[in-house]
């Protein structure tokens, strides 16, 4: 099993447009997929799942859509916190806290604090997240902790990232047919395998996750080494 799976949940807008509905309807439907995938992933033995739900670039979208995405995060956390906690899930919200209102900050603090000792499953929601921003924030934290960036091992830097203590990403899945990273987990996905599917996020099923994991097992991961030992 990949130690850490990360998903770029894309295609909500196109899913809605195909149904002549507003984009926000696609996002609402996308939350149902989140519930299905979080439950399914933990049932099939995944231990760490990161979901990209709002990027630092998504601030360029219309105000009403941004507000809807913020409300959906709030509603999801408020309504599912107890269930997740009951299933021994540790929840982390990755990303910048800049621009978040006090009530949302309090909610994030509450969910992280409530679930911090849970051990069955790690659910990370990347919200107001950008990979470049995270690396800058991590660097600032390292400097504030008195560390010297000019003489620092990669392994010593990782604990300053939002994913401190979590394994590197083994598998990135992106839905909706787009084939790019869009500023997601730039550090952690340095050697991840990528799987792109045309399925739009609201249509994504646990079986699609299982197919991606099967395909992952057929990949030949080399980490810079030779794929076959050299013949003497």
Is 58 an annotated catalytic residue?
Answer: yes
C-alpha pair distances (Å), 26 with each of 65, 112, 126, 156 = 11, 27, 19, 40
- If one asks whether residue 53 binds ligand IPE (CB under 6 A), the answer comes out as yes
Query: Of 21 and 222, which CB lies nearer to ligand IPE in the complex structure?
Result: 21
- If one asks whether residue 9 binds ligand IPE (CB under 6 A), the answer comes out as yes
Determine the residue with CB nearest ligand IPE: 13
> Helices marked H in 55-151 — which ranges?
63-86, 102-115, 131-144
Specify the stretch interacting with Mg ion by CB under 5 A; choose among 3-11, 110-118, 161-169, 206-214.
Answer: 3-11
Q: Which does 52 bind (CB under 5 to 8 A by kind): ligand IPE, Mg ion, none?
A: ligand IPE
Instruction: Give how far the C-alpha of residue 26 lies from the chain's centroid of Cα atoms, to the nearest Å.
Output: 19
Phi-psi region for residue 224, left (φ > 0), alpha (ψ -120 to 50) or beta? left
Q: Which of residues 54-93 bind ligand IPE (CB under 6 A)?
A: 54-55, 58, 69
- If one asks whether residue 25 binds ligand IPE (CB under 6 A), the answer comes out as no
- If one asks whether residue 10 binds ligand IPE (CB under 6 A), the answer comes out as yes
Tokens of 38: 């979080």
Q: Where are the beta strands (DSSP E) in the chain?
A: 5-8, 48-55, 89-94, 121-129, 171-174, 193-196
Specify the stretch interacting with ligand IPE by CB under 6 A; choose among 130-138, 152-160, 174-182, 216-224.
Answer: 174-182
Q: Which does 221 bind (CB under 5 to 8 A by kind): Mg ion, ligand IPE, none?
A: none
Is 220 an annotated catalytic residue?
Answer: no
Q: Which residues pair with 126 in a beta bridge?
A: 52, 94
């Amino acid at each position: 099993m990949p130690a850490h799976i990360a998903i770029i949940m894309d295609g909500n807008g196109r899913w809605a447009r195909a149904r002549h509905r507003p984009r926000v309807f696609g996002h609402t439907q996308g939350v149902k997929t989140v519930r299905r995938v979080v439950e399914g992933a933990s049932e099939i033995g995944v231990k760490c799942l990161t979901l990209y739900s709002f990027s630092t670039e998504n601030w360029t979208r219309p105000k009403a859509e941004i507000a809807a995405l913020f409300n959906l995060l709030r509603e999801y956390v408020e309504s599912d916190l107890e269930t997740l906690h009951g299933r021994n899930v540790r929840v982390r919200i990755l990303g910048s806290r800049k621009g978040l209102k006090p009530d949302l900050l309090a909610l994030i603090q509450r969910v992280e604090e409530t679930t911090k000792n849970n051990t069955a499953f790690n659910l990370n929601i990347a919200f107001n997240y950008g990979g470049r921003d995270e690396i800058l924030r991590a660097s600032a934290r390292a400097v504030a902790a008195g560390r010297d960036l000019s003489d620092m091992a990669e392994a010593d830097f990782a604990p300053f990232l939002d994913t401190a203590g979590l394994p590197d990403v083994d598998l990135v899945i992106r839905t909706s047919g787009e084939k790019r990273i869009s500023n997601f987990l730039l550090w952690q996905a340095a050697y991840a395998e990528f799987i792109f599917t045309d399925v739009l996020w609201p249509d994504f099923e646990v079986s699609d996750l299982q197919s991606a994991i099967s395909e992952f097992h057929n990949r030949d991961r080399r980490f810079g080494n030779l794929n076959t030992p050299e013949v003497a």
